[in-house]
Chains A and B, each alone.
Chain A
Amino acid sequence: MADARHDGLRERPRGAGWAVAITSLCLLALLVLAPLVVVLVEAFAEGAGTFLDAITDEDTVSALGLTLLVVAIVVPFHTVFGVAAAWLLTRQDFRGKALLGTLIDLPFTVSPVVSGLLFVLLFGARGWLGPWLRDHDVRVVYAVPGVVIATLFVTLPFVVRELVPTMEAIGRDEEEAAASLGASGWQILWRVTLPRVRWALFYGCVLCGARAAGEFGAVSVVSGHVRGETSTLPLHVEILWGEYHTAAAFAVASMLAASGLVTLVLRGLLERRVRASKARSSSAAHASAALALETSISSVPSKGALS
């Protein structure tokens, strides 16, 4: 990744290179651009009135509200969890570290539908915790908490997987320098580590939020599809489609597509920042750490700075 900034490795496409470039651009247009255009065209197929009716419909607004609620819970949760997990994975050595990394990747490898079913088996009326929850009048599956939990599960890896490479690239030098200057753990986290990874963190949050808003499979299993109550936007699109309200379905889908586009733009902007901060880290880390050491009054040598 860091090598990509050496311009010597980049070449202008020639011959076969052009063919590959054109083919992939055409594929991209066919797979990404064309569906987007179709969504918009179909959304307005019955006129702007239908479009407005569809997106201001009571059930649509309720679905939008639920989707935003899910995002508002999932993203902050994973921000905190992601930083903690990435710190464990890159800064600590302990037994079961590999297991933690594997567990965090689990949602990537398990089909969302299966993960939804797992929650039904766990929290459902006939599940392990079902009878206990029922006795205490707590509803998890087929209610909002189930939707939130399922989304938390499928979005688990996004922030962590974004943070880990960046934190590995930055290394421990600056943190050790700060520690040698007497900074506490919290000070190091707030003043040294987080400022360096903030773009990666933000990028991870954007991806996590996009997935949380768009998740269908797992949510579909645990939601129960109660209109106006446990339907998120993607589920509402399916409901409208199933009711032959094609234009309305596409109108709501265009809301999701719009949020996807915002994500893409954010992603483009952030990716540059992330790359820049990684690149800076490899060259600047040693210099700044050394500088920090020079001005240090502490005599504790830092392993990173010595090497």
Chain B
Amino acid sequence: MSLLLVASTKLRSRRGLLASFVSCVGLSCLSLGSLAAGCSGEAGSTTPGASAATGAASPRDVELLHVSYDPTRELFEAVNERFVARERAENVNVTIRMSHGGSGRQARAILDGLEADVASLALAWDIDALAREGQLVPADWATRSPNRSSPWYSTIVFVVRRGNPKGIHDWGDLLRGDTQVITPNPRTSGGARWTYLALWGWALRQEGGSEATAETALRELYRRVPVLDSGARGASTTFTRNQIGDVLLTWENEAHLLLAENPDAGLEIITPTVSILAEPPITVVDANADRHQVRDVADAYVRFMYDDEAQEIAARHHFRPRSEAVAARHRGELPELTLFTVEDVAQGWAAAQERHFADGALFDRISEGRSEAPR
């Protein structure tokens, strides 16, 4: 095309131009055609009936789209590999596509048409949204698998700089002196909601603790946050690479991964005496899995998360496994601490949403105060 364009004589350059235009238009038709072919191919691969019907000998091809939240990338990469191997033994070729992002944003994307067959989000409230706003899962989705559909759990811990110069050991220490705290925005980040409720719960459980003192504690905390990132990974980057803040509040698994990935950054993990029981749930998205006719494989995938093989992988990725056997093997790797639940401190997610995270609720009022506070 460019060769044609640099043709020297006027006549030839005219023809060259013509040819280049024709080739451009041709190219666009071609690419549109291949796009259409790509789409139909995609549709073909998600309808497993064809290959399944041809007989037991030829393997069935299944593609699952698993939409997850941010700090699970490494975990599910490892889990998927095992699940794919296991299904191959049963003559099913599974391809698992992953999409990661902030939990709330991912829930929105699924509601807006990201056709997830399986969703694992940071908190039950975001999956409740799939039931409430899109009827994509039944309202009782959480009861379909053990432990409120959370195959493992985690909690919120602190990451501090080497030697813990600010002497941070528990939640109360965050609110002292000129400590700067890094935590993402609870409006967009699931981990940040757990963090928010962890501090709330800690404050309620203090001697003389009440909703008023807990509110003061929250105000005091968010006054110290210089950057409200939109997700856990963004906050990790702010803390580690940009060297902002004295303490990072994040998922326990994310904290361990952060240390492993940045061995030279001089970071230490501090586990507080109490924290919140953070349960990231996983579920089949019924509407999509049924439509794609992959329900059986999607169900098997979710069940596999409770298998000791997956539990072992989760434990290695610093989640706390539910399986007694696996938990026993990894005892001592993660410190013991008292964990309270969302039900204990906020009467569940629906109440927490209304009281804390809805428009004009407590977090909004706190962040208004935050922007007005003198820096």
Q: Which residue on B lies nearest to A227, using beta carbons?
A: B98
In the complex, the answer to whether B28 meets A148 with C-beta atoms within 8 Å is no
How many angstroms between the C-alpha atoms of A154 and B49 in the bound complex? 40
Find chain A residues with CB under 8 A from B126 CB.
Answer: none
Q: How far is the CA of A241 from the CA of B100 in the complex (A)?
A: 13
CB distance from B45 to the nearest CB of A (A): 11
The answer on a CB contact under 8 Å between B111 and A227 is: no
Q: Mark A112-134, 1 if CB is under 8 A from B, else 0.
A: 00000000100111110010001
Contact A190 B25 (CB under 8 A): no
Bits for B87-112, please: 1 = Cβ < 8 Å to A, else 0: 00000000001111100000001011
Residues of A contacting B42 in the complex (Cβ-Cβ under 8 angstroms): 139, 143
Measured CB to CB, the closest approach of chain A to B132, in angstroms, equals: 13
The answer to the question of B361 belonging to the interface, with a C-beta cut-off of 8 Å to chain A, is no
Q: Is the CB of B17 within 8 A of A145?
A: no
Q: Complex formed: what's the CA distance from A9 to B30 in Å? A: 49
Q: Does any Cβ of B come within 8 Å of A195's Cβ?
A: yes
Are A228 and B24 touching (Cβ within 8 A)?
no
* Chain A residue contacts of B18, Cβ below 8 A: 190
Comparing A26-34, A70-78, A91-99, A102-110, the segment that makes contact with chain B is: A70-78
Q: Do A69 and B34 touch (CB < 8 A)?
A: yes
Q: Which residue of chain B has its CB nearest to the CB of A79?
A: B24
Residues of chain B contacted by A202 (CB below 8 angstroms): 5
Smallest beta-carbon distance B190→chain A, Å: 15
Taken together as a complex, chains A and B put the C-alpha atoms of A75 and B99 apart, in Å, by 28
> What mask results when residues 200 to 216 of chain A are scored 1 for a CB within 8 Å of chain B, else 0?
00100000000000000
The answer for the CA separation of A80 and B23 in the assembled complex, in Å, is 12
Main secondary structure of the interface of A (DSSP, over half): helix
CB atoms of A145 and B35 under 8 A apart: yes
**Also in contact, A126 and B111, with CB within 8 A (given A73-B31, A80-B25):** yes
Which of B28, B134, B233 is close to A73, meaning CB atoms less than 8 Å apart?
A: B28
B112 adjacent to A127 (CB under 8 Å): yes
Let me know if B39 and A145 touch, CB within 8 A.
Answer: yes
Q: Tell me the smallest distance from the CB of B43 to a CB of chain A, in Å.
A: 7
Which residues of B sit under 8 angstroms from A267, Cβ to Cβ?
none
* Residue B38 interfacial (CB < 8 Å): yes
Q: How many A-B residue pairs have CB under 8 A?
A: 105
- Assembled-state Cα–Cα distance A148/B31 (Å): 11
Contact with A along B175-199 (1 / 0, CB 8 A): 0000000000000000000000000
Give residues of chain A (167-199) contacting chain B, Cβ–Cβ below 8 Å. 190-191, 194-195, 198
Identity of the chain B residue whose Cβ is nearest the Cβ of A77 in the assembled complex: B28
Given the complex, which residues of A lie within 8 Å of B114, measured CB to CB?
141-142, 224, 226
User: From residue A215, how far is it (CB to closest CB) to chain B in Å?
Assistant: 17
User: Do B14 and A190 touch across chains, with their CB atoms under 8 A apart?
Assistant: yes
Q: Which residue of B lies closest to A80 (CB)?
A: B25
Query: Whole-angstrom distance between the alpha carbons of A119 and B21 in the complex?
Result: 30
Chain B CB within 8 A of A144 CB: yes
* B27 on interface, CB distance cutoff 8 Å: yes
Is A69 a contact partner of B35 (Cβ separation < 8 A)?
yes
Asked, given contacts A69-B35, A139-B115, whether A126 binds B134 with beta carbons under 8 Å apart, the answer is yes
Q: Is B10 among interface residues, defined by CB-CB distance under 8 A?
A: yes
The answer to whether the Cβ of A11 comes within 8 Å of any Cβ in the partner chain is no
Task: Judge whether B31 and A239 touch: CB under 8 Å.
Answer: no
**B113 interface residue per 8 A CB criterion:** yes
B-side contacts of A243, CB under 8 Å: 73-74
Are A144 and B28 in contact (CB-based, < 8 A)?
no
Q: How far is the CB of A302 from chain B (nearest CB, A)?
A: 22
B101: chain A residues within 8 A (beta carbon) = 225
Q: Is the CB–CB distance between B35 and A227 below 8 Å?
A: no
Q: Which B235-278 residues have C-beta < 8 A from chain A?
A: 237, 257, 261-262
Q: Is B52 an interface residue (CB 8 A)?
A: no
Residue B65 interfacial (CB < 8 Å): yes
A3 within 8 A of B: no
Docked-complex contact A228 and B97, CB < 8 angstroms:
yes
Closest residue to B240 on the A side, CB-wise? A244
| Chain B residue with Cβ nearest A266 | B2
B70 at the interface (CB under 8 A from A): yes
User: What sequence of 0s and 1s flags, for each residue 153-180 of chain B, a beta carbon within 8 Å of any chain A beta carbon?
Assistant: 0000000000000000000000000000
Whether A195 and B14, one on each chain, are in contact in the complex, defined by CB atoms closer than 8 angstroms, is yes
Q: Which residues of B contact A194 (CB under 8 A)?
A: 17, 21
- With contacts A125-B111, A130-B113, A191-B14 taken as known, whether A139 is within 8 angstroms of B100 at the C-beta atoms is no
Shortest CB-to-CB span from A8 to chain B, Å, is 32
Chain B residues with Cβ below 8 Å from A242 are 70, 73, 100, 233
Expressed in whole angstroms, the Cα–Cα distance for A198 and B2 within the complex equals: 12
List which B1-59 residues lie within 8 A (CB) of chain A.
Answer: 5, 10, 13-14, 17-18, 21, 24-25, 27-28, 30-32, 34-35, 38-39, 42-43
Asked whether A76 and B27 contact (CB < 8 A) given A139-B39, A243-B74, the answer is: yes
| Nearest neighbor of B43 in chain A, beta-carbon distance | A137
**A4 shortest CB reach to chain B, Å:** 25
Q: Contact: B113 with A141, CB < 8 Å?
A: yes
Q: Are A190 and B99 in contact (CB under 8 A)?
A: no
CB distance from A231 to the nearest CB of B (A): 9
| B21, B100, B133: residue with the most chain A Cβ atoms closer than 10 Å | B21
Which of B97, B100, B257 contacts A239 (CB under 8 A)?
B100
Encode A227-255 as 1/0 by CB contact (under 8 A) with B. 11100000000010111100000000000
Chain A to chain B: the 3 pairs with minimum beta-carbon distance, closest first: A76-B28, A125-B113, A124-B112
List 9 A–B pairs whose Cβ atoms lie within 8 Å, in order of A's numbering: A69-B31, A77-B28, A120-B112, A126-B134, A141-B113, A143-B42, A144-B39, A225-B100, A226-B65
A interface residues, Cβ below 8 angstroms from B: 69, 72-73, 75-77, 79-80, 120, 123-127, 130, 134, 137, 139, 141-145, 148, 190-191, 194-195, 198, 202, 224-229, 239, 241-244
Contacts beyond the supplied A127-B112, A225-B100: 11 A-B pairs with Cβ under 8 Å: A72-B27, A76-B27, A80-B25, A80-B28, A125-B111, A127-B113, A130-B113, A139-B42, A143-B42, A190-B14, A195-B10
